[in-house]
Structures are given as C-alpha cells and as structure tokens.
Amino acid sequence: QINLSVIRQYVDYLVSEQNVKNVFVNGTTGEGLSLSIQERKQLAEEWVRQGKDKLDHVIVHVGALSLPESQELARHAASIGASAIAVIAPFFFKPMNKDELVAFLQKVASEAPAVPFYYYHIPPLTGVKIRVEELLDGIKERIPTFQGVKFSDTDLLDLAQCINKNEREQFAFLYGVDEVSGLSVLLWHSLASALGKQGTLDVHTYNYLGRKTNLMLQAFAKPDLAVARKYQVRCGQ
C-alpha cells in the first residue's frame, strides 16, 4: 500500500538536505510499473501538490505495457499540472525498429499536447536497444512536444553522438546511471558548448546523495577534475 502522507516531508528533505529540486515520479526507483493505475495517479497528484512552489519540475513517468493505460496516465498528468511526462518503451511485445517505437511514443504524447515529453531509454531493463541517436532524427516532426531523453544506459558512444549532433535542436539529456555519471558529465563538457539544456543527471541515489552529486557537478563546471573525481568515487562507494 502506498503511503502518501510522507511525500510532503520527503519534498522538504530533498530541497533542504539534498538541494534537489527536480523529481521523476513513478519511474524505476519508484516502482511505477509495479503499481496500479490508480496508485500511480494518486502518487502523481500528491507529488505535484506538495511540490508546488518548492520543486522546479515534477516529471511524471506514464509509460505502461498497455497503450490505452499509458494514454490515460498522460491525460491525467496533464490535468494535474505535471511539468513534463516521460514514457518507457513497451518491453513485452517490443518495438522492432525506430518507426514502431516512435509510433507508440507519439500516440501517448498526443494525449497531452501541451506537456513537454521525454523518452525514457533504459535498455538494460526493457531490452529495446534502438539507438537514441537514430531515434532523434526527425522526431520533432512526429512529436512536437518532444524535449529530450532520460538516458539510462552505459552506451556512452550513443550519448556522445546524441550530444554532438544536438546543436540545432538543443534536446535535454537526463543521465540516469549513477556509477558512471561523472563520465557522462565529462562528455557534456567536452562535446557541448554549455551544460545548460544539454544535459543533467537524473539518478536514483539523488534521494540521499544529491548534495554530493551537486558538488561533483560544480567541480566539473569550474573545471576541477580532481575534486569531481573525488565526489564520483564517494558517490560510487
């Protein structure tokens, strides 16, 4: 049974103790795909309610194996004022190519036409290994609200190629593999003119390592690679 009563305290803790002001609700760490549709709606509503005037962004994951359920969750997220929605690839009957994946994403995104949309790329869990670099080609024409990717994979070549070709679109890349998050930031600083909208981190250890991870990001920005490496090692431990 979900415990909605702790979310207010949790929001305050993230902001005051971890300096975290953006959340990804009903994702992998939140076990969203193990919850009922009603439970996911209740959690999304409470995060949006408690995050108002405290959090910068509340991104709600609305992916599901059932297309109608994913569409229902997208409409709900739009109705409660979520900052953005994200969708994982269906992972039982998997899309076999880019066109099939984009078609699924488009059908969900169209149910929330005014809400920024992210693709949640996590092939270690979904088994959907369509490269993000390939996915990005022409995606704005199919999904006008497309803003970027939650990139939870260790294929840093794919990530680097995405960033390298991203000058015109300026998509956002939210990197989600804690163990190599430092390497991903190094890629952004090496390949992008500014971190800004090019990328940030969205890792599950932010819940309790947010402050240290932010110190790592600040060290990269200086740049002070020795200090950044120190914090990456600490976070890994």
Task: Give CA separation, 119 vs 63, 65, 85, 122, 194, in Å.
Answer: 9, 15, 9, 9, 22
As to burial, measured by CB atoms within 10 angstroms (0-12 exposed, 13-18 middle, 19+ buried), residue 131 is middle
Mean pLDDT calculated for residue range 63-67: 97
Q: Residue 117: which pLDDT band, with cuts at 50, 70 and 90?
A: very high
The amino acid that residue 197 corresponds to is K
pLDDT of residue 184 exceeding 80, the answer is: no
The whole-number pLDDT of residue 187 equals 47
Residue 168 token pair: 């015109």
Residue with tokens 């956002």: 172
113 or 181, which is more confident? 113
- Tens of pLDDT, residue by residue over 16-64, are 988 888 899 999 989 999 999 999 999 999 999 999 999 999 999 999 9
Q: What are φ and ψ of residue 24, in 5° steps?
A: -120, 105
Strand pairing category for 84-88 and 146-151 = unpaired
In this prediction, residue 33 carries a pLDDT of 95
Collapsing DSSP to helix, strand or coil, 23 comes out as strand
Catalytic residue numbers, as ranges: 120, 150
pLDDT band with cut points at 50, 70 and 90 for residue 204: low
The residue ranges of every structural domain in the chain are 1-153, 167-237
Residue 160 or 136, more confident: 136
Q: Classify domain 1-153 at the CATH class level.
A: alpha beta
* Structure confidence at residue 123 (pLDDT): 95
Phi, psi of 76 (to 5 degrees): -65, -45
**pTM listed for this prediction:** 0.84
